[in-house]
Structure 1
Amino acid sequence: MTKPFPDAICVIIAARNAAAILPAAIRSALSQPGVTEVVLVDDASTDDTAAVAESAGDGSGRLRVISLKTNRGPAAARNVAIENSAAPLIAILDADDFFFPGRFEAMLQHRDWDLIADNIAFTRTSHPQHQPQDFQARARSLSTIEFIEGNISQPGLRRGEIGFLKPVMRRSFLDEHGLRYNENLRLGEDYDLYLRALVKGARYTVIEHVGYGAVVRPDSLSGQHRTEDLRRLCEADAAVRKTPGLPEDVAAAIRRHESHIRDRYRLRAFLDSKKRGGMAEALRFALRDPAAMPAIASGIYSDKTQRLRPAQADVAPETGFRYLLPGVPLAHK
């Protein structure tokens, strides 16, 4: 007999031009016990995203597809989904990803959290031939500083930031603190929401059990950001730093993340200047902002020497997976 779930779950999917990849995501969400709603927001796609989404339903009436007339970005699309759903728990699913069977059973064994995330298995396909490693569902708390530091990428490390975690969120906590996605952001919108939740006192739990499958795609929208998107993410960090009563160690961590993003922005702006007007315009840009020179020089050096560093595999060839977090296999209990 299936154990009843303590709370119903809404799965939210923001999609744009995702007709070719959507069915696996939707079906994996609908197959999860405890899911009472799947809300997909089609962000003004120019392909058949909405029609394909509708056809992926299971006839239970739990799937709702909402189409936006203008492209508003993933943050706005997710806010629309939140406002058009009612379940007390909210789970985010990217359109090109999927859930492994039993995801929520493992997560909801744990209590006393406002956000809870599980381990991620990176893979090259939404239909892997094998199941991921069966890790124990051990839980630990994620501090605000650990979360921020885990979102500062390191040279030579690929897709390893804690920001990739996809926590389930309690709607009551979001509503109590007036938290929604920042619609000015098209990059780092998840990081920004979770950071603001942590600053408001959210209890963030992470378990080792693997329940989320992230498909590694070279054309992923998350990897196609604009220079302007980096600038806006810097502004979002600066806004959180101004929170009254923010502990100094948290403010310092946010400053480090903000500096990291600003360096990326300066490099991209320099390269944009070079593309528009050649090296002369790029040099004029650099001279207008001497503080940008170290970031520009470091970024160019890193790009030039990338080929000299050993490449890191997206997934392990022997298993077809790579895990975001280390874990202890159940056999070791």
Structure 2
Amino acid sequence: MVTQQEKVCVIIAAKNAQETIGRAVRSALAEPEVAEVVVVDDGSDDRTMAAAGEADDGSGRLDIIRFRVNRGPSAARNHAIAISRAPLISILDADDFFFPGRFSQLLACKDWDFVADNIAFMATPDLGQQPARFAPRPRGLDLKAFILGNISRRGAPRGELGFLKPVMRRAFLDAHGLRYREDMRLGEDYELYVRALVKGARYTVIESCGYGAVVRANSLSGQHRTKDLEALHKAERAILAAGDVPAEAVGVMRRHCRQIGDRYALRHFLDSRRERGAGAALAYAFGNPTAMPAIAGGILRDKVDAARRRSHRQTPAPQDGGLRYLLPATSTARD
């Protein structure tokens, strides 16, 4: 039996998600631990709101809110947090869904403020397909390890721990005044988790997989703008400037911040060249000499990658529901 303190509010911010929102809502309502599902239609111009309503199971747990003007996922999530009441909060992207039994695995863990599970990335969603049965192997995730898990390294897979979708205790968020930064549309999850960890959040991660993420080229995370990178860079610099980051994590956070700053500098240079010509781009580069290595290195990497694509046939992404896991689970649970 699910106790009051184990009840979950699932928050789904949606923009033009009529094709996927029903699947997301149904997967959330199927979980017995879910007391509320709050969908915020963030200024859609399609049938997102209607499609969400069509997925209602009649249990009275679904609440659908509509913003007439798009305000971004952070504002949508903050509004949902404000109007909901369940003690546990879970974010679900409108493209994605929960595998059955997700919350029973997560809530079996003890003594946490945030608890996250493995994510299965797929090209083709299939609700009938179950992820591999990895043993939970719960472990604590501190600030330094979390930031390291978001740093890209040459020749290694992209750092992705910011993609985790933890269940969060409302009491911890409220006690520390933590909400999503509404000026951010890229890295808002990462930034919130960093501030929580700075405040001492106990963050537990398990290798069991309960979250299905559908990889799409036109997802919001794949469409970030230069100003979104700038906002992320400014937010991280602000956290560092506050002076609350534990000493052991300062170095890796500065490293991550530099990496974001380098990406921003390259994008700013390319935008200037496209919009105002080579002269404007060079003026920006020479006016910002500390950005020159990032710009030159980024252009070189782009050319090398383009040459590699021309000379080697790319392996296509799986189209049959093949799964890739975020966390490198090392063993599987026995049936």
TM bracket, shorter-chain basis: over 0.9
- Mapping for residues 151-190 of structure 1, pairs under 5 Å: 151-155=150-154, 160-190=159-189
1:321 aligned to which of 320, 323, 329:
323
DSSP 3-state at the match of 2:6: coil
Residues 65-74 or 299-308, more deviating: 299-308
Q: Which runs of 5+ in 2 are unaligned?
A: none
Instruction: Detail structure 1 runs of 4+ shifted over 4 Å in the superposition.
Output: 155-160, 309-315
Change (3 A) 1:267 1:83: same
Question: Residue type matched to 2:322 in 1?
Answer: G
TM-score, normalization by structure 1: 0.94
Paired residue for 2:268? 269
| Alpha-carbon contact 1:128-1:320 (below 8 Å) kept | no
Separation (CA, whole Å) in 2 of partners of 1:62 and 1:125 = 28
| Alpha-carbon contact 2:122-2:321 (below 8 Å) kept | no
Superposition deviation, residue 249 in structure 1: 2.5
Change (3 A) 1:175 1:141: same
Superposition deviation, residue 27 in structure 1: 0.3
DSSP 3-state at the match of 2:262: helix
Superposition deviation, residue 250 in structure 1: 1.9
Change (3 A) 1:159 1:126: farther
Separation (CA, whole Å) in 2 of partners of 1:126 and 1:67 = 26
Q: Percent identity?
A: 56
DSSP 3-state at the match of 2:278: helix
Matched, 1:240 2:243: no
DSSP 3-state at the match of 1:152: coil
Matched, 1:195 2:194: yes
Paired residue for 1:77? 76
- Give per-residue Cα distances to partners, 1:157-212, cap 9 Å, x unaligned: 56651111100000000000000000011111000100000000000000000000
Change (3 A) 1:319 1:216: closer
DSSP 3-state at the match of 1:117: strand
2:333 aligned to which of 296, 318, 330:
330
Superposition deviation, residue 314 in structure 1: 4.8
- Mapping for residues 54-93 of structure 1, pairs under 5 Å: 54-93=53-92
Paired residue for 1:302? 301
Change (3 A) 1:305 1:199: same
Paired residue for 1:230? 229
TM-score, normalization by structure 2: 0.93
Change (3 A) 1:15 1:269: same
Aligned length: 329
- Give per-residue Cα distances to partners, 1:20-44, cap 9 Å, x unaligned: 1111111000001110000000111
Question: Residue type matched to 2:18 in 1?
Answer: A
Question: Residue type matched to 2:24 in 1?
Answer: A
